[in-house]
Every structure is written in C-alpha cells, then in structure tokens.
Amino acid sequence: MRRPSTSTTAIATLGLVGTLLLTACGGTDAAVPEEESPLTMFYQSLTGDLSRDEMIRKTQEDNRRAEELTAECMAAEGFEYIPDEQEVIVPDPEEFDPVKDAAENGYGMTVTAQPSDEEQAELDSRVDPNQAIVNAMSESEMTAYYIALQGDTSSWETDEDGANVDVPIAEMGCWGRAQDTVSGDEQAIWGTEEMTAFNEATTVMYEAIPNDPRMIDVAERWADCMADAGFDYSTPDEPAEYFLQASNELYGGESPVHPGDPKVAELAEQEKSTAVADQECRKEVEYDKVYTTVQFELEETFVAENKDLMDRVVAASEEIGQ
C-alpha cells in the first residue's frame, strides 16, 4: 500500500500562494501589474489590507495554530500527531521571468513545473515529523489514522470525472476542523450571497476585456508575431487551451500513455517552444500593458457603478467578523 505523506503544511501553502495571486491580478490573461488595481484594493480591504510579507507571516502563524489543534484533535481520536511547524518558501513574484518559466514549464499542461534550486533545497531538507509514526502502523491502523486526520474520503460526493464536489473543510477530519477553527470566519465571506453576486458580476466584467477594441487590435498583432515565429493561433488563450486538450487526450484517451512515453516528451517540447514564442510576442506587442490598461478602466467603471453591491459585501464581511 502506498504510504501518503502526513504533512499538511504544503496544503496550507497552496492556499497562501493562491491568495497572493488572487490579490495580485484580477484577470487571468495578463502578467501581474506593477500597481494595484481598484478591485485588488477592494479585496485587500476584506482581508485586512495586509502586505505580502504580513500575509505570509499571518498564514504561517495560522498554520502553526492549526497544527496544534490538529494534534489535540488526533490525540482525542487516539492517535499521536506531531505538529508540522516547518516554514515554507513562497516564490517572490518580482523574481519571476515569464520567458524563463515558459522555457522550463510551458503552460503547465504537459510539463510538470519544477521547483527552483532554492525551493528544491527547502523540499529536500523537509522531514515529515509523522512519517515514522505512520510507517510503524499496520494497514488497518493507517486507514483509521488517515480517516481521523483527513476525513473519510470514500463518503465524499464526486462528479462524473471522479473529483470531489464541494466538501466542507470541517468534514476533512482533524486537519479540516483545525483549519475551519483558525480561518473559518475569514473564509466564510466567500460563500455568502453578497460575495457570490459580486463574483458573478466581476466575472461578466472580466469576460468583456477581450472584446475591447484595443484588445482586439493587440491580439491581432500578437497573432501576426506568432505566425512569424511559425505558430498559427488567433488569440493568446488558444495555445494553453490546445495543450490542455492535447494533454487530456494523451493521458485520458482510449489508449492512455505513461508519463515516460516519448509522445509526452514530444508534446512537452512543443508546449515549451510555443509558450516561449507566446511570451516573447506578448512582450513585443506590449500585450500585458494593453490588457492592464483595459482591466483598470473596466474595474474603475465597475466600482463606480456597483457601490451598493460592494457596500453589501463589506457589511457581510463585518457581520461575520463580529
């Protein structure tokens, strides 16, 4: 039986990285802008307007508290659990080179992103404090241990693809209950009627960005640049969508292949070369600059036209925090 890692620190880190990305950029098509957009500032007002360093420190402190609560819960369930309080390295966005990343990881569809030397060294130095405990267990003991720690996954509802559907974090065993205790109020705003309406409205706004005449023009110039490089795409969205579909067909088609199959390596090289050309063309036609200009203008209009909705979101957030 495969013995999964007991470490929950990495899971919390994913949440931190996702939060940093969310507050950095509203759209999905452009690089992180140098200044904060109107809606970025609104999101920050809901999360306490913390700086990046403050958010990292808070997340790590919350993680330490959650680990302590997890250990207490596991003890009540009859298991030993040692809090995993090792700090993690969060990538610095200022050090991110889109062309270098494209050359190494493509769009992240066929190619598995590789950690930097610093990140790899940190990963190599990590020691799961609970692995020895788990290794000494019988298979039945291990099963009971993971049900207590992470919840009974066999009872979770799944969709047609086998993915878990809307599992409340409080149902994810001792780890989930600890996370809910530490950050439940902070996360509760995202499930409110007010935030749902706000997110639906901003989604409509962001979907309008590609239809702006300036975006249509810069996308055409990007396509011309890509054609000169030997790639036939009409919009910057198409390459990633193509490699996502190609990767899915390769791994999940009628004759799925192993990750070590030469077909995977061939597709990965195509993905990386396409992604490099994509980033170089974006830079040449100033695609990200145009995108950010349009994004900021639409967000400013959105803020002016949706003050009542945003006030309701703030009121809901304040009510939860009381």
According to the model, what pLDDT value does residue 159 have?
66
pLDDT digits (tens, 9 = 90+) for 259-276: 678 888 999 999 999 999
Structure tokens at 304: 């002016």
Choose among 129, 116, 11, 23: nearest CA to 59.
Answer: 11
According to the model, what pLDDT value does residue 38 have?
92
- pTM here is 0.68
Alpha-carbon distance of 62 to 148, in angstroms, equals 21
pLDDT below 70 — which residues of the chain?
Answer: 1-34, 49, 88-94, 112-120, 122-124, 159-165, 184-186, 253-256, 259, 321-322
According to the model, what pLDDT value does residue 3 have?
41
According to the model, what pLDDT value does residue 4 have?
46
Cα-trace Rg, the chain: 22
Helix, coil or strand: residue 164: strand
According to the model, what pLDDT value does residue 238 have?
97
According to the model, what pLDDT value does residue 27 have?
41
According to the model, what pLDDT value does residue 57 have?
85
Q: Domains of the chain: which residue ranges?
A: 1-86+127-188, 192-322
Dihedral over alpha carbons 280, 282, 283, 286 (to 10 degrees): 160
According to the model, what pLDDT value does residue 94 have?
64
Alpha-carbon distance of 238 to 274, in angstroms, equals 11
DSSP assignment of 95-149: G--HHHHHHHHTTSSSSPPPPPHHHHHHHHH---TTHHHHHTS-HHHHHHHHHHH
